Chains A and B, each alone.
Chain A
Amino acid sequence: MKVTVKILRYDPEKDQRPHYQTYQVDAEPTDWVLDLLERIKGDQDGSLSFRRSCAHGICGSDAMRINGMNRLACKTLLQDLHSHTIVVEPLLGLPIIKDLVVDMEPFFDHYKSVMPYLVNDEQAPMRERLQSPAERERFDDTTKCILCAACTTSCPSFWANGDYIGPAAIVNAHRFIFDSRDRASSERLRILNGQFGVFRCHTIFNCTQACPREIQITKAIGEVKKAIATGNLD
């Protein structure tokens, strides 16, 4: 079948503002959107820029807006879009570098600000820091994040103010806050209680809907909010 792919293009050296360019591509219903982009770049227009690496939904490089919603191009089947016209646009809320490539720096700055690593200065046991399956289960959902930025850039609070730490950073803080081996929970909660922390979340749910890993993001944020409010990690 023939599909029409409409891509929002922007080349800072040539264009005043982003504009749409349309391509006709031969495709199968079982093609990924990433396949179409590769075909366009390979056969029709080598100047098209986008990020991708693994093509298997694990590196988080190719999050973009596909038919208006944030998704991974390598994890979105044509047949699931139920349309012969596909609109591909860069993520919102981050500066565009070129075409579908956005500047992820602000996103990673927020990520780094929550200390996304294990903090524990206690003497390590001989073999390992033991954890029960139940304790591991407590933060299992938030370990799945691949830092694709689909959630943060779907959040109206983040669009309104880029200083908001954003869902992805909160998810990654949650992953350590509720880890029984970690000792910096209170420090992380203090950071997240700041002016641009969790309370900028208005329970809108765009993030949960956008997450390609199906993480219950709003729930994780809710748990962090509650931990801050009650001072209790249960």
Chain B
Amino acid sequence: MAVSKNAWLTGLRYRGGDNMLVWMLHRISGLAMVLFVGAHILSSFFTQQLGSTWGIALNTIYESPYFQIFLYFFVIFHVINGLRIILLDFFPKLLEYQRELTWLEWIIFIPIFGLSVFITVIKILNGG
């Protein structure tokens, strides 16, 4: 019997713990960014080339503060996690401390993301 070759489905059957979670988040945030940038390009295209209201509709979604909070999460996470992996690639010795590095990653992430959310929420409260 051939075992499922789909890594995503297989991943659900394995308890990889926080390491695997971070990797999955990295993948998801990568895809999410493609989606965000895609929406941005599409909305510009609709508005400027076709003069269609579709662009405005997309823009409203894209620029809404709720959407922005997701965007901040994915972009900031992807950047910091990417930097962690680059660091590990350059200095394999650090791989012994990968647990600590993952913690460090979240310690850096939380204030940056927190500040972004804080500013966005203030903006919402001030009426956008």
Determine which residue in A17, A69, A206, A225 has the highest number of CB atoms from chain B within 10 A of its CB, and name it: A206
Query: CA A157 – CA B89 in complex, angstroms?
Result: 17
Q: Give the total number of A-B pairs whose CB atoms are below 8 A apart.
A: 88
Query: CA A96 – CA B2 in complex, angstroms?
Result: 8
Among B7-15, B49-57, B108-116, the stretch in contact with A:
B7-15
Q: Is A127 an interface residue (CB 8 A)?
A: no
Instruction: Please state if B5 and A162 are interface contacts (CB–CB under 8 Å).
Output: yes
Interface size on A, residues (CB 8 A): 36
Among B37-45, B60-68, B71-79, B90-98, the stretch in contact with A:
B90-98
> Which one of B5, B15, B89, B92 contacts A68 once the chains associate, using CB atoms below 8 Å?
B15
Q: For the complex, would chain B's binding face be called helix, strand, loop or mixed by DSSP majority?
A: helix
Contact residues in A for B118 (Cβ distance below 8 Å): none
Query: CA A92 – CA B98 in complex, angstroms?
Result: 25
Query: CA A194 – CA B48 in complex, angstroms?
Result: 46
Instruction: Please state if A204 and B92 are interface contacts (CB–CB under 8 Å).
Output: no
A217 → chain B closest CB, angstroms: 9
Q: Is B128 an interface residue (CB 8 A)?
A: no
Instruction: Please state if A92 and B15 are interface contacts (CB–CB under 8 Å).
Output: no
Determine which residue in B2, B13, B14, B96 has the highest number of CB atoms from chain A within 10 A of its CB, and name it: B14
Contact residues in A for B127 (Cβ distance below 8 Å): none
Instruction: Please state if B3 and A156 are interface contacts (CB–CB under 8 Å).
Output: no
Specify the chain B residue showing the minimal Cβ separation from A68: B15
> Which one of A70, A93, A154, A222 contacts B3 once the chains associate, using CB atoms below 8 Å?
A93
Contact residues in B for A225 (Cβ distance below 8 Å): 89, 92
Contact residues in B for A152 (Cβ distance below 8 Å): none
Given contacts A156-B23, A160-B7, A162-B5, contact A219 B92 (CB under 8 A): yes
Contact residues in B for A218 (Cβ distance below 8 Å): 95, 98
Query: CA A202 – CA B7 in complex, angstroms?
Result: 13
Contact residues in A for B10 (Cβ distance below 8 Å): 92-93, 156, 159
Chain A residues near B (Cβ < 8 Å): 10, 12, 17-18, 65, 67-70, 89, 92-96, 154, 156-157, 159-162, 202-206, 208-209, 216, 218-219, 222-223, 225-226
